[in-house]
Amino acid sequence: MIELQRRLDFLTSVVEGILASVELDEILYVIMCGITSGEGLGFHRAFVFLLDESERTLTCKMAVGPASEREAHRIWEEMEARAIDLPGLLRSYRSSRHDPGAWRLMRRLSGLAVPGRRLALRPRPPRGRLPAALSLERLVLRCLCARAPLVDNRCRVTFRPPGGGRPLEFRRFAVVPLHRGRDVVGAILADNVFAGGREVDVQDVESLRGVSNLVTLAIDRARLYERMRRLAELDGLTGLLNRRIYDEQLGRLLDESVRRGEPLSLVLLDLDNFKPINDRCGHPVGDDVLREVGRVLRSGLRAGDLSVRYGGDEFAVVLARTRTADALRVAQKLCRRVRAIRLSRVPGLRVSVSAGVACSVQGFVEPEALTAAADAALYRAKRDGRDRAATASGPPRRRRSGG
């Protein structure tokens, strides 16, 4: 009876945490903390694997727990000494999201990418026991293809980063699928990998199944909210996201890049000599130019990139998992495509943009610092002759006056 009441209290705390936010990362952190908290399910570690919205790739979206046994003992001793309870853990997301050290575990899984097409299969019942050794990719695929939980206390599962690095092991684990009807959404994995960890039992699996229903509902709620917000905040002229969504999303994307140990780049673009175009050809032509630049940005980027009308004739592009050199190439490509714009009503008009590039790996991990650094690079591109791209270097400068 006491155990049942404890688990009910745990689910209540998680539901309250979910209802307090519409931000998917924060919601998943709340749920994973609940799975790993001693007041919750008491697992050593917890992971959420999700398909992206295009259903092309399954990646690790959130991981909570220590990255090593030494770190595990340090965390447990600190929590005991400070008497940190589950509500305290749930409040810790905002204070830890800028701390790379808090996301070591997730960073070790940043190379995981399971093609979504391998999940678009009819459910297949699991056959026999798991082998003694298995890759993480095969374990998650087996769970999702079966559409059924997997639990094992003897198998050793390993994730080997594609680019090398220390393998990550999983033992005494349960994997529970996340699905909406017949559609796969992702999976939750929880384990007790460190010394002295208890074996996973049937009750653990049932509790995880209850949590999985909450996760699926939370994902749907967060993504629906995000889609509605994007529809409401598109720029009417260019079809790009507007400045408000940029201000809201850049911080979240930077936080995620820090957690995953991946670079994030920002490209700021500004039309060259746009005021003379308006003055000489009229505002309808100026609007045509802005529409065409919007088309170039929408068609010239990856599905996950963020393209924004930053101001009147200024634009911003946020490139996830992109280092400075690659972002510079993207910026140069966009410059070329804008240069190729031709307007039917003014055939001889030539349009160009200047671009500035900054990357989080240069130390710009706050939205204001990244934006200021890209703006300083854009200022230099303008100063050096326009119709070109430049990268950030040195301290950010004051914003230019325009042109």
DSSP string, 175-198: EEEEEETTEEEEEEEEE--STTPP
Q: Are residues 262 and 201 in the same domain?
A: no
Q: What residue type is assigned to position 392 of the chain?
A: A
What confidence tens digit (pLDDT) does each residue in 107-117 have?
A: 888 888 888 76
Q: Which of 185, 206, 230 is the last residue of a domain?
A: 230
pLDDT at 399: 44
Are residues 187 and 250 located together in one domain of the fold? no
* In the predicted structure, residue 261 carries a pLDDT above the cut 60: yes
Nearest to 90 by CA among 161, 22, 138, 35: 35
Model pLDDT, residue 125: 63
Judge whether 294 lies within some domain.
yes
* 403 lies in some domain: no
Count of structural domains within the chain: 2
Mean pLDDT of the chain: 84
- pLDDT of the residue at 217: 84
CATH of the domain at 286: 3.30.70.270
d(CA 95, CA 63): 16
User: Residue 297 gets which letter from DSSP?
Assistant: H
* Co-location of 348 and 334 in the same domain: yes
Neighbours of 79 (CB within 10 A): 15
What integer is the mean pLDDT of 304-324? 93
**Same domain for 281 and 190:** no
Mean pLDDT of all residues in 333-338: 96
Count of CB atoms within 10 A of residue 270's CB?
A: 24
Domain assignment of residue 53, yes or no: yes
Q: Which range scores top for mean pLDDT: 52-61, 109-118, 181-190?
A: 181-190
Please tell me the predicted confidence (pLDDT) of residue 395: 47
Report if residue 338 sits inside a domain.
yes
Q: Which of 188, 205, 230 is the last residue of a domain?
A: 230
**Angle made by CA atoms 371, 327, 259, in degrees to the nearest 5:** 65
Q: Which range of residues forms the domain containing residue 303?
A: 235-391
Phi, psi of 202 (to 5 degrees): -60, -40
Q: How confident is the model at residue 228 (pLDDT cuts 50, 70, 90)?
A: confident
At residue 226, the pLDDT reads: 74
In a domain? residue 25? yes
Residues 191 and 329 in one domain: no
> Which range scores top for mean pLDDT: 81-85, 256-260, 393-397?
256-260
- The two tokens of residue 274 are 């746009």
The answer to whether residue 398 is domain-embedded is no
Specify whether 12 is located in the same domain as 77.
Answer: yes
Q: In the listed set 230, 265, 294, which residue is the last one of a domain according to the structure?
A: 230
Q: Please check whether residue 101 lies inside any domain of the structure.
A: yes
* Mean pLDDT of the 209-221 span: 84
Residue 216 domain-assigned? Answer: yes
- Residue 318 bridge partners (DSSP): 266, 306
Please give the average per-residue pLDDT across 164-187, as a whole number: 89
End-to-end CA distance of the chain: 71
* Same domain for 173 and 129: yes
pLDDT of 190 higher than 70: yes
